[in-house]
Amino acid sequence: MSSRGAIYFIYKAHERIKPFVHRTPIITNSTFNNLIGKEAFFKCENLQKTGSFKARGALNTILKLKESNPNLKGVVAYSSGNHGLATAWASRLAEVKCSVVISKTTSEFKATAIQGYGAEVVTCEYDPISRIEACEKIAAKEGYEIIHTSDHDDVIHGQGTIAVELLQEVPDLDAILVSASGGGMISGIAIAAKSINKNIKIFMVEPKGKMAEKSLRSGKRWWPNPPQFIDTIADGLMSQQLGILTFPIICRLVEKEVFTVENEDMIKGMVFSFRYMKMVIEAAAGATVAAAMSEKLKQMDPSIKKIGVILCGGNVDMLKLPWYS
């Protein structure tokens, strides 16, 4: 699908979900701006329904399924936590049954929250293939529709509504920093943002070990198979590979220069947010804060003066903060 066609569906997604999701605030912090020498505008998806941006894509997908099939039997998703939470919440709102497949290592904090929305929780081994296989098994047995974490048009269009709201309020941004796992959020944001302002730059933020820059620069998928998880404190950024659908979108619209952050950087981003912005964010959001604080950004094109920073989620176990582990 072309970007011109996709932006129509992003606006339709926004109309579909906006009665049910928060229009999350955009905040600034003078201490942060003085630190980085630029103006940063934080889009607070950590304050979104279920605590992350995932509510947008999951709800858009499920509501659209219900539009086409009012007798939808149920949905199933695999998740490291946030997508499962979002799917469980959205399915309850849409009054459809829901199962969520999580790995055995998923935090009890997130597993309990998923169950709190009425979803069945199914555990599997800690690897991407096991999650997919378990999800497909449930879908076949129960006749459920699979709600993909990122690699689906309706999910991408839902996540793109973040950029619609951000640029309605701050139309003259020069760049947006977005963390990426499967790539649904950055794909949707890139489609929407570049359609609204063709000159804006979208930068990917990744955990160490994702190795996305080589693939983006070549346009080829250099990741090893089978798919694997990265060793990172950001459970929302565990997937090493970008999606089959999202990868070409990202290659076309996102800058080839990638911000790679280590666990220590994410912790610094989280601590700054907690201490100076009074914002509870998880490590995946700490990654974008760290990228905005980096020397790499300071050394980039000086014309990049106003940046959007996506705080993608705030689902962190307050009793197990990473700087105390």
Catalytic residues: 54, 80
CB-based contacts of 284, cutoff 8 Å, min separation 6: 179, 181, 234, 235, 236, 237, 266, 312, 313
* Eight-state DSSP code of residue 127: S
What count of Cα atoms within 13 Å lies in the side-chain half-sphere of residue 228? 11
> Quick check: 150 and 129 in contact, CB under 8 A?
no
Task: Count CB-CB contacts under 10 A for residue 303.
Answer: 9
Selection from 229, 257, 256, 227 nearest residue 243 by Cα: 227
DSSP H/E element including 139:
helix 128-142
Selection from 146, 145, 122 nearest residue 73 by Cα: 145
* Buried b or exposed e, range 42-58, using 16+ CB within 10 angstroms: bbbbbbbbbbbbbbbbb
Selection from 80, 122, 75 nearest residue 95 by Cα: 75
Measured distance between the N- and C-terminal CA atoms of the chain, rounded to whole angstroms: 44
CA angle at residue 264 from 262 to 267, to 5 degrees?
115
* Sheet (strand 145-146) strand order: 120-124, 97-103, 74-79, 145-146
**φ, ψ (nearest 5 deg) of residue 287:** -65, -40
Please give the Cα distance from 151 to 282 (Å, whole number).
22
